[in-house]
Amino acid sequence: MENQKPRTYVGKGVKVGKFDLINISICIDDVESYVYEYNGKRYAKLVVGGLRETDQYGKTHSVWINDYKPTENQTTAPKQQEVSQSGTPDLPF
């Protein structure tokens, strides 16, 4: 993870019982500057990740702003494998 910006943490969460649910609370004041509009609605991109250890308040997850922006070469569609004249893909081995 080279040149990674520090994360902007905006909340915490806790796993609920034996279900695959995470209850989270976020600070709206911290998220407001990351809100964007799309088709007349407001959104904020967030990430929920598990903590290595439960914190002193029993929280098991952390919430932060998803500020990932793909580089130009990551946004292009992957090239399809070329097909040889025999009609089968050319394998690299």
Tens digit of each residue's pLDDT (9 = 90 or more) over 26-42: 999 999 999 999 999 99
Q: Is residue 84 part of a domain?
A: no
The residue-averaged pLDDT of 9-16 equals 91
Q: State residue 71 phi and psi, 5-degree precision.
A: -75, 165
Which domain range does residue 56 map to?
A: 9-67
Q: Is residue 18 part of a domain?
A: yes
Q: Is residue 87 part of a domain?
A: no
Structural domain count, the chain? 1
What would the two tokens of residue 76 be?
Answer: 């292009």
Predicted local confidence at residue 68, as pLDDT: 83
Q: State residue 38 phi and psi, 5-degree precision.
A: -145, 125
Predicted local confidence at residue 92, as pLDDT: 65
Q: pLDDT by residue (tens digit) across 39-80?
A: 999 999 999 999 999 999 999 999 999 988 877 776 665 655
Predicted local confidence at residue 32, as pLDDT: 94
Instruction: Report the length, in residues, of the chain.
Output: 93
Q: Is residue 23 part of a domain?
A: yes
Whether residue 69 contacts residue 75, with contact meaning beta carbons closer than 8 Å, is answered with no
Predicted local confidence at residue 5, as pLDDT: 81
Residue 69 vs residue 91, higher pLDDT:
69
Which residue type occupies 73? N
Q: Is residue 86 part of a domain?
A: no
Q: Is residue 20 part of a domain?
A: yes
Q: Is residue 74 part of a domain?
A: no
Q: Is residue 22 part of a domain?
A: yes
